[in-house]
Amino acid sequence: MLRNDHTFISSLGLATPPFSVGQEAAGQILEARTGHLLSDRSLSVMRKLFEHPSINSRSFAVSDSAAIFDEDADARTKRFTDWSVALSAEAATVALANAGVSIDEVKGLVVNTCTGYICPGISTYLIEKLELPKNVRAYDLLGSGCGGAIPNLQLADAINLRTGGGAVVSVSVEICSATFQMADDLSLVVSNSLFGDGAAAAVMTGQRKGLEILDSASRFAPEDREFIRYIHKNGQLHNQLLLGLQTRVSKAANLAVSDLLLRNSLQTADIRHWALHTGGEKIINSIRDKIGLSEEQLAATRSILRDYGNMSSPTVLFVLDRLIENGMREGDLCMLVAFGAGLSAHACLLKKT
């Protein structure tokens, strides 16, 4: 049953670092710097991945490509801190301006990331940088992986309903390049062909404009945890992606979506717009087939994958922004679907007002 209370995504703000590299050039740089670490098979796989037309370019939080290869652990943590704060602040500033919300009206702030850890968290840096009220309710969420934007929205929604009035800023930020590793490991080869850096912010209010949050659902499959996660090796994060991931992700995503449709008395055909996380070509195709979506419904997801790659958690909000940009009619329903570590999948049902 739909809720009687209301939270609305009033606006979005996006941010990517200025250093952007075409996929062909990125492949050439990576091979020149790390090709000697790879077997002939891994090198062949890497070349095919970088030649695939699904991704044209990605953005990285560096001044030049050498920084990714040459930094030590301390420099990497500093780069994560500086860029995560800068991109988060940029995205939040744009979103607040788009919503016409002043800093003094912000009652809550939720920030999620999985690509770095700092204490105090990113939220405290944003309170300082944006000059948010010192009594703001601020939270840092860690460890949700690529699916983290929707749990963030769930918490921001709860804060908005609790505080009554004002606005809550929801920020997803990932510096995936701060987890860069390379070895003769197909998980790392795939990761290095797919991930980029970016941030997205949503301003959530009780004002009837934008996209109303109708409901959300999550599904967890901890028995599949090893299929997608970060592994700590020598104090560094290494991405792990196992064969068969797409089957497990599509199953969890379908269950989250089905839960949401069932309790809101809806069918897949009732949802006009679909914003799927850009998990990669195989995963997108697997979810398409499992849920029963058309290529037209995946156009925004594929276009964001093409332009930015997979930025982890902010990406689904980039897709939502692309859908809004392409045009939504009043009353249209939209489904956000994101998935990642846990193994987890999340869905959020929205309505254009």
Number of domains into which the chain is organized: 2
- In this structure, are 143 and 42 located in the same domain? yes
- In this structure, are 175 and 246 located in the same domain? no
Of 205, 226, 252, the position where a domain reaches its end is 205
Determine the structural domain holding residue 145 and report its residue range. 8-205
Of 178, 205, 232, the position where a domain reaches its end is 205
- In this structure, are 151 and 66 located in the same domain? yes
pLDDT for 301 equals 98
| 92 neighbors 86 (Cβ within 8 angstroms) | no
Q: In what order do the strands lie in the sheet with 273-276?
A: 137-142, 106-113, 167-175, 197-205, 8-15, 211-220, 344-352, 333-340, 273-276
- In this structure, are 263 and 160 located in the same domain? no
193 inside domain: yes
pLDDT for 202 equals 98
pLDDT for 323 equals 98
- In this structure, are 195 and 243 located in the same domain? no
CATH code of 53's domain? 3.40.47.10
pLDDT for 1 equals 31
- In this structure, are 144 and 272 located in the same domain? no
pLDDT for 234 equals 85
Q: How far is CA 282 from CA 160, 166, 243, 249, 290, in A?
A: 37, 41, 11, 11, 12
- In this structure, are 286 and 229 located in the same domain? yes
pLDDT for 223 equals 97
pLDDT in tens, the chain (353 residues): 333 478 999 999 999 999 999 999 999 999 999 999 999 999 999 999 999 999 999 999 998 888 899 899 999 999 999 999 999 999 999 999 999 999 999 999 999 999 999 999 999 999 999 999 999 999 999 999 999 999 999 999 999 988 877 899 999 999 999 999 999 999 999 999 999 999 999 999 998 889 999 999 999 999 999 999 999 998 889 999 999 999 999 999 999 999 999 999 999 999 999 999 999 999 999 999 999 999 999 999 999 999 999 999 999 999 999 999 999 999 999 999 999 999 999 999 999 99
Of 205, 234, 269, the position where a domain reaches its end is 205
Backbone phi and psi for residue 23, each to the nearest 5 degrees, phi listed first: -65, -40
- In this structure, are 117 and 101 located in the same domain? yes
- In this structure, are 329 and 266 located in the same domain? yes
- In this structure, are 260 and 243 located in the same domain? yes
pLDDT for 3 equals 38
The span from the CA of 262 to the CA of 254, in Å, is 12
- In this structure, are 234 and 337 located in the same domain? yes
- In this structure, are 219 and 113 located in the same domain? no
pLDDT for 6 equals 85
2 inside domain: no
Name the strand (E) or helix (H) holding 275: strand 273-276
Residues 6+ apart with CB under 8 A from 309: 55, 57, 58, 194, 195, 196, 278
The span from the CA of 229 to the CA of 343, in Å, is 8
pLDDT for 110 equals 98
284 inside domain: yes
